[in-house]
Structure 1
Amino acid sequence: MNYRELVNNGTPLLDVRSDAEFNEGHIEGAVNIPVNDVQRRMDEVKKLGSPLIVCCLSGGRAGVAKALIEAAGVKEVYNAGGWESLL
């Protein structure tokens, strides 16, 4: 799966790094909801739509967020790993 191409074509990107990490650099247009806030802010996450691409620094937190989002009923969620791989 070419996540960079999906993002470039408008697929929503959820960056689950901390606010501080996100502010140090991120993909233009990415939405930042730290992994620890994903469950509490699930309504916002669901509004992003499906498919949804999730990223973080290396893929670990994105994997946790992906599982939470899928458990909440979003069917098509992808872990793109580290955000820098999408540049």
Structure 2
Amino acid sequence: MDYTNVFIVVLLLVAAWFFYKKFAGVKGLTELSSEAFAEQLKAVKPSMLIDVREPHEFKNGHITGATNIPLSQLGSRLDQIPQEKTLFLYCQSGMRSKQAATKLIREGHTQVAHLRGGFMSWKGKRTR
């Protein structure tokens, strides 16, 4: 096996690992449809709804009652997220909220859900 083949195999393994980490489920995370997300948000107390998009995205529209804690600021704002509350997370498409959920679960949060498909899939009330 020459170096070119070794390089290609390593590159394929790195790409496979990247896609697995990006798209695999997160242990301890509940993934909810728009309808289930809305129902659970009303039913589960105490809870906190967190929009992990950037402030300019949040200003253009968000789910009513959401607190904006961008993924880029999450690490420095963990003290604003109570451990005892169930967390409902969303972003634009669902990718950033999964990343935020991973971080929050690592920090000890046990009740974490996110909106599958993100804000783009939301069918409920919005605030501008």
TM range (shorter): 0.7 to 0.9
Query: What TM-score comes out, normalization by structure 1 length?
Result: 0.87
Normalized per residue, the structure richer in helix is 2
Cα distance in 1 for partners of 2:96, 2:65 equals 19
Cα distance in 2 for partners of 1:86, 1:40 equals 31
For the aligned residues, what is the CA RMSD?
1.7
Aligned length: 86
Aligned to 1:8: 42
1:36 correspondence with 2:79 = no
Deviation sequence 1:26-66 (CA, Å, 0-9, x none) = 11110000001111100102x27421110000000000000
Bigger-Rg structure (1/2): 2
8 Å CA contact 1:13–1:53 kept in 2: the answer is: yes
8 Å CA contact 2:52–2:71 kept in 1: the answer is: yes
SS of 1:5's equivalent in the other structure is helix
8 Å CA contact 2:52–2:68 kept in 1: the answer is: yes
Structure-2 change in CA distance of 1:5 and 1:18 (3 Å): same
Gaps of 5+ in 1: none
Aligned to 2:26: none
Structure-2 change in CA distance of 1:48 and 1:32 (3 Å): farther
CA displacement at 1:6 relative to structure 2 = 1.8
Cα distance in 1 for partners of 2:107, 2:83 equals 13
Q: Percent identity among equivalent residues?
A: 30
Choose from 87, 90, 95 the match for 1:60.
Answer: 95
Cα distance in 1 for partners of 2:109, 2:63 equals 22
8 Å CA contact 2:89–2:97 kept in 1: the answer is: yes
Aligned to 2:56: 20
